Amino acid sequence: MEIPEIVKELREEERKGLIKSSYPLTSVRSKNEIARLYYEREIYKFLEELFGIGVIRKGRLVFCNRRLGEIFGYKDVEILYGKDVSQLFPENYKELNDKDRSTLKGKRFDGERILLEVFSFPLNKEERIIICAPCKGDEAVKSLLKCIREVNRLIAMGKSTEEISKSACKLLLDTGKYMGCIIAFIEGKEISPLVIEGKYPLSKSWTVTSIEKEFILALVSDAARSGRNVVVIEGEKFTDVLVFVEFKGKVVELLRVLVKKGEKIGEEEKKLLLELAKDLWIAKRGEEVKRALEESERLFRILVKSSPVGICIYSLSSNRIVYANPSMCKLMGLDKVESKEIESIMRKTKGKTEIEISLPTGRKKLQISTVPARYGDEDVIIAMVMDLTAEREAQEKYRILFEANPQMVMYVNKKGEVVEVNARCVKRLGYKRAELIGKKFDEIFVQKERAREFLKDMLDGKKMKEAYLDIITREGKRIVGKIHGKCVMIKDGVEGAIISITDVTREKDFEKRIRETEEMFRKLSSSAHDGIVMINDKGEVTFWNKAAERIFGYKEDEILGKLLHETLIPEMYREAYMAG
């Protein structure tokens, strides 16, 4: 019996004097009077046998009768007290405030969904009464709810999309309302049927004809554009219901059911068909995700097993290695290393650390990176171990060569900053290492502009000859450096340059003194009254002063490079001259 009929009956009984009320039911405020009568227990026994009744305050139940507990599957009615109504009506609880009468989908304690006829009206400013009873007579809706529950159960069990779809189609056909059912997936302009069930006009070998395909694709386009997910087409022999599921703005699935002629398709039934189609799409997506995860796990296992980096999972509670890849076993010699030693390493290491340790495989320099995590129910440490022994030994060799180099050597980055200097550089320039590191390369030299150009040209990849630049030491002493350099390339990019500086101050001073001596000798010889002639070990004239020009008559450019005995010594004395 529906609420309006109850009100009518109660009013009739009141008119006949069968019931008494302090508030006449015939008044305009009859709905509120029902609530007051209910609170006054005048019609309580009559109502509680038929309807679930509750009082809502601020979105929560503050009172409910036994029947409401039965409807929602709660044996202990008190459990409902204080419960949020959104838990009882998760999909459309807001309609309780918007409409006096609604058909709402409720959620029972066991998760089953039920359709309820619900009347809702205010009791006072803060409270609202709801009166609800299960809907009757819509077997198709009940079957759809049953079908949706079964689909979700099979999804939870991990069944395949085909198994789930076949089960859904079978349950739909069992209602007797549906003649046939098709579940197909759509990708672009391709429609791929997965399951086909039912009789005429469907068959097991059903394929989409070109005309039908164009028609369905047009409906797909319309559904994507207008958001109309359910299309009902009335035919001569049956009603065609097409349900489209959208994902990321594209229609991806078609659920097509054929309904017997004359059967009505209600709005609730449309909603449930769409929900069923969405659940089937979720099953397919879940299956795809599962396959992707399995493939990802397979690739991950291959990656971990073939990785040159040692990887292991160490349990903090049981003090043991739960997993170690082949590289880890080989590197650490895990079949020989004692658990206490491993425990000590794992517990002391935090973040990224370099350690030197004696292992059965020899003394190693290792880089260990650790991350705390959960593995099952255990607290674990995931460790990644790299063997740096060979790398560090090579670095040590290069460091020794760098430091022991008799020349001043520095490494300059591409920004022109000094990154490293050797011991000779520190000693000769008189600066501390820390004072030189970070300094601009050109600031070390007197000719700063030439130093900048030299470094820029070198970093640009130009072939450079050595350059001579003056350097002022910390003590203020001026030295001359012969500069050589070579680019450092890493991954096809210039990272910096190695600069070698040779102290050539003494050589330059010596060259200067020689030039000064030669100049002085030229001045003296040019002013001498005696002829001065110089020859090399071959007897060739290498010097010829002005007096020699005057005495012998040969100009300097005429005699230089010629043999002295062939030019100045008479032929009769040449043999004696040659004999010494």
Burial (CB count <10 Å: 0-12, 13-18, 19+), residue 472: middle
Handedness of CA 418, 458, 424, 508 (dihedral sign): negative
Beta carbons within 10 angstroms of residue 501's beta carbon = 25
Give, rounded to a whole angstrom, the gap between the first and last alpha carbons of the chain. Answer: 154
Structure tokens given for 499: 């600069």
Domain 528-579 has CATH 3.40.50.2000: no
In this model, does residue 422 exceed pLDDT 50?
A: yes
Which residue in 415, 433, 414, 416 sits closest to 424, CA to CA? 433
Q: How far apart are CA 176 and CA 264, in angstroms?
A: 13
Cα–chain center distance at 478: 57
Residue 519 has pLDDT above 70, yes or no: yes
CATH code for the structural domain at 405-507: 3.30.450.20
Degrees, nearest 5: CA angle 44-49-53: 60
pLDDT for 569 equals 75
Query: Helix or strand or coil: residue 345?
Result: helix
- pLDDT on residue 454: 86
Give the closest residue to 38 by CA, choosing from 57, 10, 18, 16. Answer: 10
User: Following CA atoms 13, 14, 20, 24 in sequence, which dihedral angle do they give, to the nearest 10 degrees?
Assistant: 150
Q: How confident is the model at residue 487 (pLDDT cuts 50, 70, 90)?
A: confident
Length of the chain: 580
Give me the pLDDT at residue 207, please: 52
User: What pLDDT does residue 213 have?
Assistant: 67
Residue 135 scores a pLDDT above 80:
no
Mean local confidence (pLDDT), 504-514: 81
SS3 content of the chain, % helix, strand, coil (to 5): 40, 30, 25
Average pLDDT over all residues of the chain: 77
Amino acid identity of 58? K
Q: pLDDT tens-digit profile of 223-272?
A: 667 777 888 888 777 888 888 888 877 778 888 888 877 777 777 778 88
Higher pLDDT among residues 435 and 48, named by residue: 435
pLDDT at 43 over 60: no
- Which pLDDT belongs to residue 41? 44
Q: Which two tokens stand for residue 324?
A: 């170690």
- Report yes or no: 186 and 251 within 8 Å, Cβ to Cβ: yes
Structure tokens at 173: 């056909």
pLDDT value of position 29? 44
Q: Given pLDDT bands bounded at 50, 70 and 90, which one contains residue 133?
A: confident
pLDDT at 579 over 60: yes
- pLDDT class for 289, splitting at 50, 70, 90? confident
Q: Is the peptide bond before 90 cis (omega within 30 degrees of 0)?
A: no
The structure tokens listed for 260 are: 């017997």
Q: Look at residue 342 in the predicted model and tell me its pLDDT.
A: 65
Confidence of residue 558 (pLDDT cuts 50, 70, 90): confident
pLDDT tens by residue, 90-130: 887 777 777 677 778 888 888 777 778 788 888 788 888 88
Domain 3-136 CATH superfamily: PAS domain (3.30.450.20)
Residue 330 — left, alpha, or beta (φ > 0 → left; ψ -120 to 50 → alpha)? alpha
pLDDT at position 76: 80
**Token representation of residue 463:** 């072939």
Query: What mean pLDDT do residues 291-317 have?
Result: 81
Among 18-27, 93-102, 158-167, top mean pLDDT goes to 158-167
Q: State the fold for domain 308-386.
A: Beta-Lactamase (3.30.450)
The predicted model gives 309-335 an average pLDDT of 79
308-386 has the same fold as 140-290: yes
The angle, 0 to 180 degrees and rounded to 10, between the axes of the packed helices 30-39 and 3-16 is 80
> In this predicted structure, what is the pLDDT of residue 279?
85
In sequence order, which residues have a C-beta less than 8 Å from that of residue 22 and are 6 or more positions away?
36, 40
Contact 243, 274 (CB under 8 A): yes
What are the boundaries of each domain within the chain?
Answer: 3-136, 140-290, 308-386, 405-507, 528-579
What percentage of residues in the chain have a pLDDT greater than 90? 0
CATH 3.30.450.40 matches 140-290: yes
CA distance 554 to 569: 14
Of 15, 67, 12, the closest CA to residue 38 belongs to: 67
Provide the pLDDT for residue 167.
86
Q: What is the pLDDT of residues 446-467, one digit of tens each?
A: 888 888 888 888 888 777 778 8
CA distance 366 to 356: 6
The pLDDT-based confidence of 20 (bands split at 50, 70, 90) is: very low
Q: Which residues pair with 486 in a beta bridge?
A: 498
- Side chain identity, residue 158: G
Lowest mean pLDDT among 157-166, 174-183, 274-283, 422-431: 174-183
CA distances from 274 to 136, 149, 221, 267, 454 (A): 22, 14, 17, 11, 75
How far apart, in whole angstroms, are the C-alpha atoms of residue 442 and residue 454?
9
Tell whether the model's pLDDT for residue 25 goes beyond 60.
no
Structure tokens at 387: 């063997």
Residue 182: band (very low, low, confident or very high) from pLDDT cuts 50, 70, 90: confident
What's the Rg (C-alpha) of the chain?
50
What's the confidence (pLDDT) of residue 23?
39
Q: Read off the DSSP letter of residue 29.
A: T
The C-alpha atoms of residue 121 and residue 123 are separated, in whole angstroms, by 7
pLDDT for residue 17: 54
Residue for token digits 């007897």?
539
Whether pLDDT at 209 is above 60: no
- Please tell me the predicted confidence (pLDDT) of residue 529: 74
Tell me the pairing of strands 408-413 and 418-421: antiparallel
Distance CA 36, CA 14 (A): 15
Compute the distance between CA of residue 313 and CA of residue 321 in angstroms, rounded to an integer.
6
Instruction: Report the 10 Å Cβ neighbour count for 104.
Output: 22
Summarised one tens digit per residue, pLDDT across range 469-479 is: 888 888 888 88
Cβ pair 121, 128 in contact under 8 A: yes
Q: What is the pLDDT of residue 334?
A: 66
Instruction: Count Cβ atoms within 10 A of the Cβ of residue 439 and give its class: 0-12 exposed, 13-18 middle, 19 or more buried.
Output: middle
**Looking at residues 183-200, what average pLDDT do you find?**
77
